[in-house]
Amino acid sequence: MTVIGTGYLGATHAACMAELGHEVRGVDVDEAKIERLRSGDVPFYEPGLEEILRRNLDNGRLRFSTDYREVAQFAHVHFLAVGTPQQRGSYAADLTYVRSVISDLVPLLEGSHLILGKSTVPVGTAAELQDLADLLAKENTKVEIAWNPEFLRESHGVEDTITPDRIVLGLRAGSEAEETVREVYASQLEANTPFIVTDRQTAELVKVAANSFLATKISFINAVAELCEISGADVKALADAIGYDDRIGRKFLGAGLGFGGGCLPKDIRAFMARAGELGADQALSFLREVDTINMRQRDRVVQFAREESGGNLLGTRITVLGAAFKPNSDDVRDSPALNVAGQLSLGGAAVSVYDPQAMANARREFPTLVYTDTVEGALEGAELVILATEWKIFRELDPERVAGLVAKPVIIDARNVLDARAWQDAGWRVRALGRSL
């Protein structure tokens, strides 16, 4: 099989498919990325991936290339895993990369081929790509497009690919591709992973619906957190209490700085845009509010920081702990932590940022911020500390030791992960979203 597009999703998928015993070729247009993957170097931080990559390069099951011609002849099953970012100036998904895979690959194919879309796309994309493929395919060549959306979570990419909690496959009417897909995922199916075979539209919608639900849950608790703060209630205790109801569940009820990354924000926007195109914009207008609540959390943290700086950020030395959009990742796409750091810096604060893995990516995105090599270096002389990404090393900071490093013991726990009482006992002034501390 081939995996086309070797970013966070594709590189992980390619390596894990080889780990499961398949012969895999990964393809990307980014030569530098392919060169790194070829030499066993994962171009991003994903726990456990490098070991699997190296093992399967060594045993010869996994190879990487930038040459579509080479891979077109290699396999009959092709995973499509290129990016679908938000279009500039619009909420809609940019399908340029997805379309160009079809126009570059399909004319090179001979015989019978199955393209399995993994990228997150607006409903109707598979059918559109099928029309394009039918137009471009050589005579006597059959190319089928099916959708097999991906649910992996960055930082859990390997386990989510090898042992997913479900596999979804969307097929066109009359398709016989299910058997092939059963072979691809034989080990997962043997382990009784739920396998949902449906039409392509449903498969496309499953992914955006899942992400929209998760985003809604996070914004729900953040909206309630705003009320908690005003009324003197505590959102953490509230979330624990409602989370015990198994119809609700405690996951994704962590009030704080909200969601970011390369998926949730762009996926809910693309979902709204597609609903509008289909004449159903009212059905999803609540997602606009979900998005607004989410973005407001970033402003609220900046507002807290302004208040703690006496109403004016100018010259305040602020340490932002975290740059990645979530812990155990180096992904800074639409990162709430970096957004806050950037806003504070633009407001005149002297901002110092530390993240265990995302420094290089953060530097590229926001070159004007100051980045320090150690957490201690970042904290030295700070007049305000903001915990913006809940890495374990930040959660486990010793408040007494840290109090010795900073100029003023004031912390905003923007992820609600610290033991506020312990920090207060060590002499800290603690602020958190949704809590009156």
Instruction: Name which position in 19, 46, 144, 150 contacts ligand NAD (CB under 6 A).
Output: 150
| Nearer to ligand NAD among residue 44 and residue 391 (C-beta) | 44
Instruction: Name which position in 2, 6, 56, 335 contacts ligand NAD (CB under 6 A).
Output: 6
Determine the 3-state secondary structure of 430 from DSSP: strand
CA dist 199 to 54, 55, 130, 147, 180, Å?
37, 36, 14, 9, 16
Asked if residue 115 binds ligand NAD (CB under 6 A), the reply is no
Tell me the residue length of the chain.
437
Binding positions for ligand NAD, 23-42, rule CB under 6 A:
27-30, 33
| Nearer to ligand NAD among residue 72 and residue 152 (C-beta) | 152
Determine the 3-state secondary structure of 169 from DSSP: strand
Asked if residue 327 binds ligand NAD (CB under 6 A), the reply is no
The region of 47-55, 148-156, 165-173, 310-318 touching ligand NAD under the rule CB under 6 A is: 148-156
**CB 100: neighbour CB atoms within 10 A?**
12
**CB 149: neighbour CB atoms within 10 A?**
21
Question: How many whole angstroms separate alpha carbon 276 and alpha carbon 153?
Answer: 28
- Phi and psi for 433 in degrees, rounded to 5? -70, 130
Instruction: Name which position in 1, 2, 3, 8 contacts ligand NAD (CB under 6 A).
Output: 8
Instruction: Name which position in 73, 100, 163, 436 contacts ligand NAD (CB under 6 A).
Output: 100
| Nearer to ligand NAD among residue 255 and residue 263 (C-beta) | 263
Instruction: Name which position in 83, 258, 322, 342 contacts ligand NAD (CB under 6 A).
Output: 83
Asked if residue 148 binds ligand NAD (CB under 6 A), the reply is no
The region of 22-30, 197-205, 302-310, 342-350 touching ligand NAD under the rule CB under 6 A is: 22-30
φ/ψ bin of 328: left (φ > 0), alpha (ψ from -120 to 50), beta (otherwise): left
User: At 221, which amino acid appears?
Assistant: I
The region of 93-101, 107-115, 233-241, 378-386 touching ligand NAD under the rule CB under 6 A is: 93-101
Radius of gyration of the CA atoms of the chain, in A = 23
Do 326 and 265 touch, CB atoms closer than 8 A?
no
What do you get for the CA distance between the two ends of the chain, in Å? 55
Catalytically annotated residue among 225, 263, 284, 385: 263
As given in the structure block, the two tokens for residue 116 are 């399995």
Asked if residue 61 binds ligand NAD (CB under 6 A), the reply is no
Binding-site residue set for substrate: 151-154, 207, 252-256, 260, 326
| Nearer to ligand NAD among residue 5 and residue 170 (C-beta) | 5
- Phi and psi for 230 in degrees, rounded to 5? -65, -35
> Could you tell me which residues are beta bridge partners of residue 317?
350
Q: Which stretches of 177-325 are DSSP H helices?
A: 178-184, 186-190, 200-231, 235-243, 264-277, 286-308
Asked if residue 81 binds ligand NAD (CB under 6 A), the reply is yes
Catalytic status, residue 263: yes
Residue nearest to ligand NAD (CB): 7
Build a one-symbol-per-residue string for 249-288: x at contacts with ligand NAD by CB under 6 A, - elsewhere: -------------xx-------------------------
Which secondary-structure segment (H or E) carries 171? strand 167-171
| Nearer to ligand NAD among residue 27 and residue 57 (C-beta) | 27
| Nearer to ligand NAD among residue 252 and residue 370 (C-beta) | 252
Q: Residue 391's Cα: distance from chain center in Å?
A: 16
Do 258 and 299 touch, CB atoms closer than 8 A?
no
Binding positions for ligand NAD, 335-394, rule CB under 6 A:
none
Which residues form the interface with ligand NAD (CB under 6 A)? Answer: 4-10, 27-30, 33, 81-84, 97, 100-101, 119-120, 150, 152, 154, 262-263
Catalytic residues: 263
